[in-house]
Amino acid sequence: MTSTPADPALTADHLSKRYRGGGPLALDGVTMTVPTGSITAVVGPNGAGKSTLIRTWMGFERPTAGRVTVTGIDPWRHRPEAVARIGYVPQAASLYRDLTVADHLAMAVTLRHGFERSVAVERLRSLGIGPSRRASELSGGQQAQLGLAIALATRAPVLLLDEPLASLDPLARREFLSVLVAAVRADGHTAFLSSHIVTDVEEACERLVVLSAGHVLLDADVAEARAAHRVVPVAAPSAAPPTPWDVAGFTGPGDTRLVLSRTSDPTVGRAASLEEIVLGYLSSGRASGADAAPWAA
């Protein structure tokens, strides 16, 4: 039950999750390791299993098969110990609408041993979020910042953020991520966040996981993924025969047809953006029913 510094921040080992007997698998044999000190984004469409993965690490969901750990601790068997190592920003509005910002911080003090209210107060003050304002009076961006401030003030070594950017406008998303990155860098935390929005996490995250229909399609370092993929414009889906290193074809801007290839050969097409890499892998998952994960690292 005890964790050691050598333990990775988060692991999933052949993790499967089925919510109802006979129903589809929300997660199907997911295996991954999130290194300590990294910022990792998991992206994928609705129903991909992103929230289920995070909630399993939180000890909210019991794995149907496989195992997960948080700094070496099984969160289902030892939830209090695991939760004590996590700063969690839940999906959407999980704030108490009628409580003030100060009330939320007071509640956090009563719930979490070692919660540093002053850290949260200072962070919120710098963002212009006053302690007497009710949660219902805050904008979506401010609510997200309050959730993040609470998570950061736990001083937990691992931050799990479930779709924190979903309801934010572009400016608020940028502000949120800059606060997150600065805090993680300063404190040496590990952060794992889920998102639909690839472009926003591109600058903030150093690792990327593409999840679709419960399968990991890509789990790679962002820089390495960029270096290892090229996109090739094609006239039509059948214009060029697929090569072994082709991931999948997909539709790019202006209805252009593109093929994502796993190659670093500069003579092949052009460099792929992170969004194109994600689109390529999601298309491959859709085409194969997510049975194949050809390029998963």
* 3-class secondary structure, 133: coil
90 binds another protein, rule: CB under 8 A: yes
Shortest spacing between CB 256 and another protein, in angstroms: 40
Which residues ranging from 147 to 206 are in contact with another protein (CB under 8 A)? 147, 150, 154
Query: What is the phi/psi pair of residue 225, to 5°?
Result: -60, -40
102 binds another protein, rule: CB under 8 A: no
115 binds another protein, rule: CB under 8 A: yes
Rounded Cα distance between 51 and 62, Å, is 13
Nearest residue to 42 via CA among 15, 63, 3: 15
Q: Which helix (H) or strand (E) element contains residue 25? A: strand 25-34
Nearest CB to another protein, comparing residues 107 and 166: 107
Nearest CB to another protein, comparing residues 112 and 286: 112
The torsion region of residue 166 among left (phi > 0), alpha (psi -120 to 50) and beta comes to: alpha
Question: Of these, 84, 197, 296, 297, which contacts another protein (CB under 8 A)?
Answer: 84
Shortest spacing between CB 99 and another protein, in angstroms: 6
Q: How many angstroms separate the Cα of 202 from the Cα of each of 177, 227, 251, 276, 278?
A: 10, 14, 20, 12, 11
Contact 63, 54 (CB under 8 A): no
Shortest spacing between CB 88 and another protein, in angstroms: 3
103 binds another protein, rule: CB under 8 A: yes
Tokens of 174: 């940028």
88 binds another protein, rule: CB under 8 A: yes
Question: Of these, 18, 74, 92, 286, which contacts another protein (CB under 8 A)?
Answer: 92
Question: Of these, 29, 67, 107, 294, which contacts another protein (CB under 8 A)?
Answer: 107
Q: Which of the 8 DSSP states describes residue 273?
A: P
Nearest CB to another protein, comparing residues 143 and 284: 143
Shortest spacing between CB 87 and another protein, in angstroms: 8
Task: For the chain, give the number of residues.
Answer: 297
Question: Of these, 77, 97, 185, 270, which contacts another protein (CB under 8 A)?
Answer: 97
Rounded Cα distance between 1 and 212, Å, is 31
Q: Which residues bind another protein (CB under 8 A)?
A: 55, 58, 60-61, 79-81, 83-84, 86, 88, 90-99, 103, 106-113, 115, 147, 150, 154
